[in-house]
Structure 1
């Protein structure tokens, strides 16, 4: 791979994150309705701006994978170091996107390592990278890892080491909704709800506990069982779930980051001159 292709992968990942941010209505997640952050406490415009700060780090991750030639322990350590630096840059630009940085970093590196891979082949390559320990990782546990340990949830590390099963489920949901004639927006909302319905989201576990997590998962399943967001019943169920999560100030942030990962994988393969896929 040439450096231009590394940058193209990074731009595709940022595009995917931007598509996720623009999607609406997302239950409990920032979207264009929350421009003043009264509901989610995360200003949508600021999140779109800070998403751009991921691009240099993601390009560096792609370049590191290209240089390594394989899913080595050294690559895993380098990705961790670049990821921590990228999180700092994003924080300076306004913050957010920590979960998306984790998922997109592994997936961009996997796409650089396997340039012709798509779909489950990309997540399989990411799994091989994530199988190694990050030997340079800080010893102090993060909030996510502490919540994972407390409740026995896989968390972000477990998701990566399992080959991003929820990214794969989102890809399947996208394909099924498109095949059924859903609009792209509705297909992406159905994919998000598919992730929410089964993910042990550590953000929800932290704020709402296991019972609250099950409540949110059941609400997402209710939308899908009503026919998804392309149906009137599904849209009514989505509206009720959205109102409920906003009233409780609960946010399935982990699901949002994994949807961005799925939208990135869905956009592959990318080439230097290709335009971004329309939403």
Structure 2
């Protein structure tokens, strides 16, 4: 699929864009994920459901294609930002102003661009390494988003947030989510439980600004304790793992906790698994 002189066939960019969208839908189609929207229920969200998330994912598909093409053309960060801003505008129009996938536009968009760049130039390294090497400095220098709940939570609680994760090459994807997917597949022998295992592992390991925004430090700590306990008891290898995971999910809903950043990282890990590291 790789052409010479940094040019990638349009059909490969289309494949990258479709895989990015498919992975957003795979994340949605995973249950139980503590506090998160799924095909079963709305989790801790009163403003969105599975249908609106599918509509949002479909709306973003052409923008992921465009980001892959931009990466294949060697685009710098300002070009990627412009595409991301346009994607967010269309997402909000499609959802009636609901922020369904802002974090995924940023993180998945960078990985799509990296996939395009790697295919176009035969670049070595993982997608995360390409993001860090090509755009990491620019990500770190980006002006803070105005009125961002994630930015405010990161500042208040002294945590890194999505930009720090991206600038470092998505270590939570590679060091947490992907190993947990493998472990979950071994324990349960099925794809959906493996995704639950990865989601729980991410909640246990990541300082998710969404959790800090919704529940403060106490809520984030409670979320981490619950997910860590699930993993330490054997995760999806337990006979009653689903019952335990549903109980954690319901507790998150009662506490109004939703680890949206971990959901984005899960979708990104699925994308990396599909495209290749």
User: Structure 2 length normalisation: TM-score?
Assistant: 0.88
Q: Match of 2:4? A: none
CA RMSD of aligned residues (A): 2.2
Q: Match of 1:129? A: 134
Q: Match of 1:86? A: 87
Alignment pair present for 1:107 and 2:107 = no
Offset of residue 216 of structure 1: 0.1
Aligned length: 262
**Whole-angstrom CA distance in 1 between matches of 2:123 and 2:195:** 22
Of residues 39, 57, 68, the one that matches 1:62 is 68
Task: Return closer, same or farther for 1:145/1:180 CA change in 2, 3 Å cut-off.
Answer: same
**Whole-angstrom CA distance in 1 between matches of 2:20 and 2:11:** 14
Q: Match of 2:3? A: none
Indicate conservation of the 8 Å contact 1:53/1:90, yes or no. Answer: yes
Query: Which segments of structure 1 move beyond 2 Å, counting only runs of 4 or more?
Result: 37-40, 115-118, 132-143, 176-182, 232-237
Indicate conservation of the 8 Å contact 1:186/1:230, yes or no. Answer: no
Structure 1 stretch displaced more, 167-176 or 254-263: 167-176
Q: Match of 1:13? A: 20
Offset of residue 173 of structure 1: 1.0
Alignment pair present for 1:212 and 2:219 = yes
Q: Show structure 1 runs of 5+ residues with no match.
A: 69-73, 271-279
Q: Match of 1:32? A: 39
Q: Match of 1:236? A: 243
SS in 2 for 1:24: coil
SS in 2 for 1:114: helix
Indicate conservation of the 8 Å contact 1:222/1:237, yes or no. Answer: no
Offset of residue 39 of structure 1: 4.9
User: Structure 1 length normalisation: TM-score?
Assistant: 0.87
Q: Show structure 2 runs of 5+ residues with no match.
A: 1-7
Offset of residue 100 of structure 1: 1.3
SS in 1 for 2:31: coil
Offset of residue 233 of structure 1: 4.3
Task: Return closer, same or farther for 1:176/1:139 CA change in 2, 3 Å cut-off.
Answer: closer
